[in-house]
Structure 1
Amino acid sequence: MAKANKQAKPVQRQEMSGIERLGLRVSSMINHPVAQIQRWVTIHRLDTDGEREWEEVIGLLNETDGIDMTFNDDESVTLRWEASAVEDRPEEVIEPIEEPAPF
Structure 2
Amino acid sequence: MAQKGKKKDSGSMPLTGMERLALRVSSMINHPIAQHQRWVVIHRLDTDGDREWEELLGLLSETDGIEMTINDDDESITLRWEEASDEDRPVDINDVEVAGEAPPF
Q: Normalising to structure 2: TM-score of the pair?
A: 0.72
**Unpaired stretches in structure 1, ≥5 consecutive residues:** 95-103
Q: Deviations over 1:22-76 (max 9, x none)?
A: 0000000000000000000000000000000000011101100110011112110
**Unpaired stretches in structure 2, ≥5 consecutive residues:** 95-105
Q: Equivalents in 2 of 1:69, 1:39: separation in Å?
A: 12
2:79 is paired with a residue of what secondary structure? Answer: strand
1:85 is paired with a residue of what secondary structure? Answer: coil
Answering whether residue 69 of structure 2 is matched by residue 70 of structure 1, we say yes
- Count of aligned residue pairs for this structure pair: 88
Matched with 1:48 is 47
Distance of aligned partners of 1:32 and 1:63 in 2 relative to their CA distance in 1, 3 Å threshold: same
1:86 is paired with a residue of what secondary structure? Answer: coil
Moved over 6 A (4+): none
Offset of 1:10 from its aligned partner? Answer: 4.6
2:29 is paired with a residue of what secondary structure? Answer: helix
Which amino acid letter does the alignment assign opposite residue 85 of structure 1? S
Q: Deviations over 1:2-35 (max 9, x none)?
A: x8xxxx9951341100000000000000000000
For the pair shown, which has the larger CA radius of gyration, 1 or 2?
1
Q: Normalising to structure 1: TM-score of the pair?
A: 0.73
Q: Equivalents in 2 of 1:56, 1:9: separation in Å?
A: 34
Percent identity over paired residues:
67
